[in-house]
Amino acid sequence: MAREISDKQLVANRRDAKRSTGPRTPEGKERARFNALRHGLLARSVVVPTRDGPENRKQFERLLTQLRDKLNPDGILEEMLVEKIAVAYWRLRRALRAEAGEIDDKLCYARDYRLQTHPGTLALPSRGDTLKIVRYETAIERQLHRAIDQLRSLQKDRRSLNPLPLEEPPIDEN
């Protein structure tokens, strides 16, 4: 149950909200849109900035082009599923990098602090951090496999409705 606030607190909240304006310039707004981004696994944008710098939009576009060439979508539904496959694959790669980043953070912490007092201690991400990343990774893999299965099913149905014409053997007129 939500706790009700007093009228005095409500007036104070409204007064404070007027002072908080956030970024005003387009550049500031663009920068601020990723302020809360931690691992990017639930990001709305496909290509996001990371600790190592922004992900490469051209690499994503190249992946999408390769998938289109390989999977040969026909129609908007198949095209949509190919894009879904590309996005899921891209996010899966991000999940693996997030996991590696967590391990790297813990190893740096261990090297800088823990090893001074407990040599030989293996530093891995906390159980909660690891479980969260594994949960996202599992969900993304499910999305990827579901999109692949749906695409295969659509393409199989399309081929059964419009079979490729068989070529007639050449007639020998001799």
| HSE-up (13 A, CA, CB side) for residue 52 | 9
Task: Return the structure tokens found at 87.
Answer: 């996005």
Q: What is the pLDDT of residue 41?
A: 45
Distances (CA, A) of 56 to 8, 60, 70, 90, 91: 49, 7, 21, 11, 13
pLDDT at residue 161 is higher than 80:
yes
- Which residue, chain included where needed, has tokens 């550049």? 27
Instruction: Please tell me the pTM assigned to this model.
Output: 0.57
Highest mean pLDDT among 14-23, 85-94, 140-149, 152-161: 140-149
Q: What is the pLDDT of residue 141?
A: 95
Q: What is the pLDDT of residue 139?
A: 93
**Confidence band, pLDDT 50/70/90 cuts, at residue 136:** confident
Question: Exposed/middle/buried for 83, CB within 10 Å: 0-12, 13-18, 19+?
Answer: middle
Alpha-carbon distance of 114 to 106, in angstroms, equals 10
**Confidence band, pLDDT 50/70/90 cuts, at residue 6:** confident
Mean pLDDT of 119-142: 75
pLDDT at residue 150 is higher than 90:
yes
Closest CA to 95 of 132, 144, 68: 132
More confidently predicted of 28 and 68: 68
Closest CA to 64 of 49, 43, 79: 79
